[in-house]
């Protein structure tokens, strides 16, 4: 007759043993590959990600070229066409929309129950969210370079080194925007509410930034809007990509040092939003638990 020893809980109630490196690697690879496969199976998602920036590049930029002149400002060494100026902002637009698309998939997975399977796994929740975030950034990186390829044939060519130095900037900006989208997904209850949130987040962030016009011009027209642009994290993502396209981290100051404000702000916002997302998906403290979402305690 089998007996359960006193002080030893049943196997189902025991905490999982420590997971090894290869277990984490397999989990990470599975989550990232799932994001890539989802992207590859949704071809319309790839084309829609390119249509938005290409419309701005081919239509709006052509119309505004004679109206919005761009003076010689860092990192440009001479006057540049308006198409060249808005290219970094359009790359950041791709990252922003991809991040919101990833947020939409989180809401969808929550409604279908797929997220519950992910969140009840023995891996730390922060590791799961970070893995999904990296998978989303990998997809965004492919979209950004596809757009840069189109720009190359449109004769918008940054220095050759810029095609390599811009990759870390795209990754950092993608991590920041993706972490923000993860946090937003925790407060969206239904798919029907997603469109309203996108309009409330995406368009103010995009237009109240340096994506379409330099900050000095904004300051001349509206000091209030200029201050809003200065606290907008999207502005720093755009500027980080802009300088990276020319092999730079930031503008050079009068004493010869390099201004790393864009880099520091993007990293700071990434840590903040990722921490907020991990807290929001915490089964005992976060916003998901308060609404009884996946991973929340019963009762």
> In whole angstroms, how large is the CA radius of gyration of the chain?
22
Whether 85 is covered by a domain: the verdict is yes
CA atoms within 13 A on the CB side of 178: 24
User: Is residue 4, in this structure, part of any structural domain at all?
Assistant: no
**Cα 123 from chain centroid (whole Å):** 23
CA-to-CA distance for 221 and 219, rounded, in angstroms? 6
Residue 69 included in any domain: yes
Distance between CA atoms of residues 259 and 35, nearest Å: 35
* Assigned domain for 5 exists: no
What's the total number of domains in the chain? Answer: 1
Structural domain contains residue 170: yes
Residue with the two structure tokens 């109206």: 67
258 in a structural domain: yes
Domain that holds residue 206: 21-290
Residue 188, in any domain of the structure: yes
**What confidence score (pLDDT) does residue 180 get?**
92
pLDDT per residue, tens digit, the chain (299 aa), is 444 444 444 443 344 456 788 888 888 888 888 888 877 777 777 787 788 898 888 888 777 766 565 667 888 888 888 888 999 999 999 999 888 888 777 777 776 666 666 667 778 888 888 888 999 999 999 999 999 999 988 888 889 999 999 999 999 999 999 999 888 887 776 666 666 777 788 889 999 999 988 888 888 888 999 999 999 999 999 999 999 999 999 998 888 889 999 999 999 999 999 999 888 887 665 555 555 554 444 33
Q: Is residue 248 situated within a structural domain?
A: yes
pTM, two decimals, is 0.84
Chain segment 50-70, per-residue pLDDT in tens = 888 988 888 887 777 665 656
């Amino acid at each position: 007759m089998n007996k359960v020893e006193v002080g030893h809980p049943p196997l189902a109630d025991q905490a999982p043993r420590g997971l090894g490196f290869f277990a984490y690697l397999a989990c990470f690879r599975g989550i990232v590959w799932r994001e890539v496969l989802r992207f590859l199976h949704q071809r319309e998602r790839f084309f829609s990600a390119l249509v938005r920036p290409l419309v701005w590049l081919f239509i709006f930029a052509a119309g505004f070229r004679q109206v919005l002149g761009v003076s010689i400002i860092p990192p440009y060494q001479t006057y540049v066409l308006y198409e060249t100026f808005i290219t970094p902002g359009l790359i950041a637009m791709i990252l922003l929309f991809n991040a919101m698309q990833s947020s939409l998939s989180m809401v969808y997975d929550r409604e279908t129950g797929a997220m519950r399977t992910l969140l009840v796994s023995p891996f730390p929740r922060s590791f799961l969210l970070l893995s999904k975030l990296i998978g989303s950034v990998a997809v965004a990186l492919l979209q950004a370079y596809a757009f840069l390829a189109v720009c190359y044939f449109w004769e918008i060519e940054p220095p050759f080194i810029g095609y390599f130095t811009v990759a870390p900037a795209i990754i950092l900006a993608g991590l920041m925007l993706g972490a923000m989208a993860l946090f937003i997904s925790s407060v969206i209850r239904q798919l029907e509410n997603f469109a309203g949130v996108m309009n409330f987040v995406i368009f103010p962030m995009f237009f109240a930034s340096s994506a379409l016009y330099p900050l000095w011009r904004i300051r001349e027209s509206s000091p209030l809007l200029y201050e809003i642009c200065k606290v907008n994290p999207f502005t720093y993502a755009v500027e980080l990509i802009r300088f990276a396209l020319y092999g730079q981290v930031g503008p050079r100051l009068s004493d010869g040092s390099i201004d790393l404000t864009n880099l520091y702000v993007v990293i700071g916002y990434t840590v903040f939003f990722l921490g907020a997302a991990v807290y929001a998906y915490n089964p005992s403290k976060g916003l998901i638990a308060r609404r009884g979402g996946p991973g929340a305690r019963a009762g």
